């Protein structure tokens, strides 16, 4: 434990020096300051832990004194300090669990209709409402970035941002394939259909966190085909960005100005590219964003919404809720809490193995 906190203390002090040396370089100061703030709780707890260790050592030395009264006082101190040290060790161990640096970020969510035609598009729209309701309950703000609607009220795809402290830490567990089983409104025989929707959750990325060279971007502008008023439909306000090295394409057309659409498209592009780089750093098998959502086939799923049985099941934790209407109103903390606990337990186990 002392070795681990020693490296943290050294890093914290080095960051203070880096901030001072950065001077007026805003990007570097922002980057170093962010790291320092993240390390501060560990640094403060480590300082307290070292103080208790020192007091225990002093008390043990006093136990060897000839003075009976001093030995008794030292024994009392040890009885109080030992449990305190053990509690601090537990707290430090929890703080030392590797944290995702993106947990406090806003999120960009992308929902796409997979297998199932119009029924999949209709449920994609309902999932968007689910996440909007969840954000509303947490006082987070939802902003639509781009969408592709179908005539009956469904969504082929939608990209939107949720702004709020800790949004990514909660919603990151929603990435994957969501399966719905129900009788479509267009089904006259009453037969249950199975459809799939893919959800990708990307952390919003600051400009200094990933570099995109202007030469690597091709920008095309065109007249918006969607709603947005007379100005949008008459002028070339829609923007399509193509990232030439990867071939990744992002289009935004819902804002009234070309500049606003370009800024939104860049935000999505940065998030996608950062996700790819992050996966590469963690040596995952597929460093493409599609590894997060799969192919959309019926067999790949993280959660199933079974309307006839009023049941929602998260297959990763084998947990079900029999209150589907509440889930569709954004009451998904049942799943997110359990996934978060499992995630932290896995990381704690990793720390434990590292210490052995």
Encode pLDDT of 111-170 as tens digits: 999 998 899 999 999 999 999 999 999 999 999 988 888 878 899 999 999 999 889 999
Q: Report residue 310: phi and psi, to 5°.
A: 55, 40
Contact criterion met (CB below 8 Å) for 130 and 332: yes
In a domain? residue 353: no
Instruction: Answer yes or no: do 188 and 332 share one domain.
Output: yes
In a domain? residue 88: yes
Nearest Cα neighbor of 179 from 165, 194, 189, 190 is 194
Position 52 confidence tier, pLDDT thresholds 50, 70, 90: very high
Position 1 confidence tier, pLDDT thresholds 50, 70, 90: low
CATH at residue 233:
3.30.160.20
Contact criterion met (CB below 8 Å) for 312 and 336: no
Range from 1-5, 175-179, 243-247, 286-290 carrying the lowest mean pLDDT: 286-290
What is the three-class DSSP state of 161? strand
Contact criterion met (CB below 8 Å) for 260 and 235: no
Position 298 confidence tier, pLDDT thresholds 50, 70, 90: very low
Q: What is the pLDDT at residue 56?
A: 93
Question: How does strand 238-243 pair with strand 248-252?
Answer: antiparallel
Whether the per-residue pLDDT at 296 is higher than 50: the answer is no
Instruction: Answer yes or no: do 79 and 135 share one domain.
Output: no
Tokens 């459809």, located at residue: 195
Instruction: Answer yes or no: do 27 and 166 share one domain.
Output: no
Tens-place pLDDT, residues 339-354: 987 887 776 665 555 5
Contact criterion met (CB below 8 Å) for 257 and 235: no
Instruction: Answer yes or no: do 266 and 340 share one domain.
Output: no
In a domain? residue 233: yes
Contact criterion met (CB below 8 Å) for 109 and 162: yes
In a domain? residue 356: no
Neighbours of 142 (CB within 10 A): 17
In a domain? residue 91: yes
Q: What is the pLDDT at residue 182?
A: 94
Range from 59-63, 119-123, 263-267 carrying the lowest mean pLDDT: 263-267
In whole angstroms, give the CA distance from residue 284 to residue 290: 12
Contact criterion met (CB below 8 Å) for 138 and 191: no
Which of these three, 237, 252, 281, is where a domain ends?
A: 281
Per-residue pLDDT, averaged over 159-184, amounts to 93
Instruction: Answer yes or no: do 150 and 183 share one domain.
Output: yes
In a domain? residue 224: yes
Q: Please give the residue range of the domain that contains residue 85.
A: 2-95
Instruction: Answer yes or no: do 84 and 230 share one domain.
Output: no
Instruction: Answer yes or no: do 198 and 310 share one domain.
Output: yes
Instruction: Answer yes or no: do 192 and 305 share one domain.
Output: yes
Position 289 confidence tier, pLDDT thresholds 50, 70, 90: very low
In a domain? residue 354: no
In a domain? residue 101: no
Q: What is the mean pLDDT of the chain?
A: 83
Instruction: Answer yes or no: do 197 and 294 share one domain.
Output: yes
Instruction: Answer yes or no: do 155 and 238 share one domain.
Output: no
Rg (CA), the chain: 26
Nearest Cα neighbor of 225 from 164, 172, 156, 271 is 156
Whether the per-residue pLDDT at 291 is higher than 50: the answer is no
Which of these three, 61, 95, 129, is where a domain ends?
A: 95
DSSP calls for 207-266 = GGGS---GGGEEEEEE---SSS-HHHHHTT-EEEEEETTTTEEEEE--SSSHHHHHHHHH
Quick one: tokens of 109? 């969510």
Quick one: tokens of 151? 């005539």
Nearest Cα neighbor of 266 from 242, 287, 290 is 242
In whole angstroms, give the CA distance from residue 151 to residue 215: 38
Q: How many domains does the chain have?
A: 3
Q: Which of 46-55, 206-215, 278-287 has the largest mean confidence? A: 46-55
List beta partners, residue 195: 180
Q: How far is CA 4 from CA 47, 81, 89, 184, in A?
A: 13, 21, 11, 56
Which of these three, 281, 310, 339, is where a domain ends?
A: 281
CATH at residue 153:
3.30.70.1660
The proportion of the chain whose per-residue pLDDT surpasses 70, expressed as a percent, equals 85
Instruction: Answer yes or no: do 113 and 182 share one domain.
Output: yes
Instruction: Answer yes or no: do 306 and 188 share one domain.
Output: yes
Tens-place pLDDT, residues 211-256: 788 888 898 887 766 544 444 445 678 888 888 888 888 888 877 7
Nearest Cα neighbor of 225 from 238, 213, 214 is 238
């Amino acid at each position: 434990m002392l070795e681990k906190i020693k490296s943290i203390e050294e890093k914290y002090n080095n960051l203070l020096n880096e901030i001072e040396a950065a001077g007026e370089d805003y990007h570097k100061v922002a980057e170093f300051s962010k790291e320092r703030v993240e390390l501060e709780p560990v640094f403060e707890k480590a300082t307290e832990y070292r103080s208790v260790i020192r007091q225990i050592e002093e008390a043990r030395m006093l136990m060897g004194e000839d003075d009976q009264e001093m030995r008794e006082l030292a024994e009392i101190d040890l009885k109080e300090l030992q449990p305190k040290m053990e509690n601090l060790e537990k707290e430090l161990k929890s703080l030392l669990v590797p944290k995702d640096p993106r947990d406090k970020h806003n999120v960009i969510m992308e929902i796409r209709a997979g297998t199932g035609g119009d029924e999949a598009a209709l449920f994609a729209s309902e999932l968007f409402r689910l996440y909007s309701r969840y954000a509303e309950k947490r006082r987070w703000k939802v902003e639509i970035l781009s969408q592709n609607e179908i005539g009956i009220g469904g969504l082929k795809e939608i990209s939107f941002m949720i702004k709020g402290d800790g949004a990514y830490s909660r919603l990151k567990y929603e990435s994957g394939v969501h399966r719905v089983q129900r009788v479509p409104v267009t089904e006259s025989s009453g037969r249950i259909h199975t459809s799939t929707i893919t959800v990708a959750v990307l952390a919003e990325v600051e400009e200094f966190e990933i570099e995109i060279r202007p030469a690597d971007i091709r920008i095309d502008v065109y007249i918006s085909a969607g709603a947005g008023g007379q100005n949008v439909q008459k002028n070339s306000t829609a923007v399509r960005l193509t990232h030439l090295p990867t071939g990744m394409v992002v289009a935004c057309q819902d804002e009234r100005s070309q500049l606003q659409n370009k800024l939104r498209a860049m935000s999505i592009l940065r998030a996608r590219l950062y996700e790819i780089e992050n996966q590469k750093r963690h040596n995952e098998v597929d460093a493409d964003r599609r590894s997060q959502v799969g192919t959309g086939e019926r067999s790949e799923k993280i959660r199933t919404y079974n309307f006839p049985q009023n049941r929602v099941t998260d297959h990763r934790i084998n947990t079900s809720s029999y209150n589907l209407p509440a889930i569709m109103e954004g009451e998904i903390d049942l799943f997110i809490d359990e996934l978060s606990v499992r995630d932290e337990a896995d990381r704690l186990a990793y720390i434990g193995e590292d210490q052995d």
